[in-house]
Amino acid sequence: MTQFYPYRRRKGRKLCICMLFCMSVALTNRFFNLLTEHSYNLAVVETMYHRKASTDNAEKDSFHIIPRDNEEHIFNNTLRPRVFETWTAPLPCFPAESTWDRQSVQQTPTQQGFLFVKPYKCASSTVAGVQIRMAQQLAQRQYKFSMCQARFTHGPQPFPAHTLYADRSSTRSFLWTVLREPTARAVSGFFHFRVSKRNDSIANFQRSLLQPDPQAKRDYYLQSLYLNQQFNRNIHDPIQVAQEILQEYNFIGITERLDESLVVLMLLLQLPMSDILYVPAKQSGASYDSNGKYRKCNFLQPSILTPDMQAFLESDDWYNEIKYDLMLYNAANRSLDLTIDQLGRDHVQEQVQRFRQAQQSVRERCHPVLPCDDAGNFRPDADCLWKDSACGMMCLDKVATELDLWGDYYDPTVLAS
């Protein structure tokens, strides 16, 4: 009978094929949902995207997809995330050099103290201000001297961690840094150093990102952060080096999660919230920047990508430049999650909310004189302890007092009155 109805047979086959296809899609989606339900797998998902980050508002980050040809590299990521441990020994606060705020001192190797590796274009000037505030507040609060020994500059390039901290004592120093998504960091670096400060053309974007450069180069994080040797991809195993970095640092924060990172740092060191308050090094709306060296200010061009630039950032050539940095970034991001879980996620989120409320008060109350004003004029009377870092410290103290952020420690505004 069916031979007289070939159309029905063909129609039946099509229906079967359609049903099988739909079932396959449904099962695939379900598998992917299961894969991403637990935060452990977020690192896998996040690595499938280059993240263009805004340090002003992490919630506004956008994503663009890495070519599918690179997915085999992603899922072969063998880095193991870790929990950053709470510091239980006496804090490594030793009297700072009398000239601690000189560049020559900051470029001097040391074995002890609070050690911050300051990567380019990772909100690191702002974070360096937190490092300075912690070192100052802790010294004056507990040890009765003015400043703990600390390092907080970019350091000698291209191997600052190896140059400054290769011989550091793990029991007498706290070593930390912050990482930003590698593509976002490199793009920001190009517009900051090349376009804004050297008047380079955006036509040189690809050439600039592929050439050796202290601010934007292949394996930037591995070269900057590795302690043991001067990293070379042709000699060392990049994955092993990235794993060693993750294990050797006492803490690695994430620029796109700066509030969470600073709160976790506070909890690991068991500090009061007053110690991590900050005024951003680059105020919202500010258009100028100065490193203080030539007492002049540079207009900062916004980072605007053309279609050709975007296409390059999605290419295999660019992925090859950042793939190991991307592995380290995602493992550090996952390690932050694991540490939050260890500390108690509800407790951490409660402290993050409290910190954000405090920072809102800082934005409303604190308007210190920065090295560059909105008109591009250099201000020698800037209210900062180091270039454009650690600004408005007295105002931060007042906010901490009003909001009762000193914990069980003394309030310097009360003692001064």
Report H helices in 112-204: 124-138, 160-165, 182-189, 197-198
Q: What is the mean pLDDT of residues 78-100?
A: 96
Residue 32 lies in a domain: no
Contact in structure between 61 and 52 (CB atoms under 8 Å): yes
Q: Quick one: how far is CA 370 from the chain centroid?
A: 23
pLDDT digit string (tens) for 301-334?
888 899 999 999 999 999 999 999 999 999 999 9
Cα–Cα dist 175/116, whole Å:
6
The reply to whether 18 falls in a domain is no
Is the predicted pLDDT of residue 390 greater than 60, yes or no?
A: yes
Question: CB of 92 within 8 A of CB of 114?
Answer: yes
Domain contains 20: no
Judge whether 340 and 348 are in contact, CB under 8 Å.
yes
Check if the beta carbon of residue 287 is closer than 8 Å to that of residue 276. no
Per-residue b/e over 301-316, b at no fewer than 16 CB within 10 Å?
A: bebebeeebeebbbee
102-137 pLDDT, tens digit per residue, is 999 999 999 999 999 999 999 999 999 999 999 999
Within-domain flag for 231: yes
Q: With beta carbons less than 8 A apart as the criterion, state whether 147 and 139 touch.
A: yes
Residue 342 belongs to some domain of the structure = yes
Whole-number pLDDT of residue 12: 55
Mean pLDDT of the chain: 82
| Per-residue model confidence (pLDDT) at position 50 | 38
pLDDT digits (tens, 9 = 90+) for 158-182: 999 999 999 999 999 999 999 999 9
Tokens describing residue 189: 């670096």
| 322 domain residue, yes or no | yes
What are the residues whose beta carbons fall under 8 Å from the beta carbon of 243, sequence distance 6 or more?
78, 79, 80, 331
Q: What are the residues whose beta carbons fall under 8 Å from the beta carbon of 94, sequence distance 6 or more?
A: 112, 113, 148, 149, 172
In 45-91, DSSP assigns E strands to: 49-52, 62-65
Give me the residues paired with residue 150 across strands.
114
Name the phi and psi angles at 327, rounded to 5. Answer: -60, -45
pTM of structure: 0.80
Query: Structurally, how many domains does the chain consist of?
Result: 1
226-266 residue pLDDT tens: 999 999 988 999 999 999 999 999 999 999 999 999 999 99
- At 78 the pLDDT is 79
Q: Does 368 map to a domain?
A: yes
Cα 68 from chain centre: 26
Cα dihedral sign, 189-194-197-202? negative
Q: How far apart are CA 118 and CA 161, in angstroms?
A: 9
What does residue 262 show for φ and ψ, rounded to 5 degrees?
Answer: -70, -35
Higher pLDDT, 266 or 45: 266
Q: Is residue 31 part of a domain?
A: no
Flag the least confident range among 144-148, 207-211, 225-229, 334-338.
207-211
Which residue reads 């029991």 in tokens?
Answer: 171
Looking at the predicted structure, is the pLDDT value of residue 219 above 80? yes
How many other CB atoms sit within 10 Å of the CB of residue 258?
A: 22
Give the DSSP letter of residue 193: I
Q: Which two tokens stand for residue 371?
A: 């090295």
The boundaries of the domain holding residue 106 are 38-416
d(CA 136, CA 44): 39
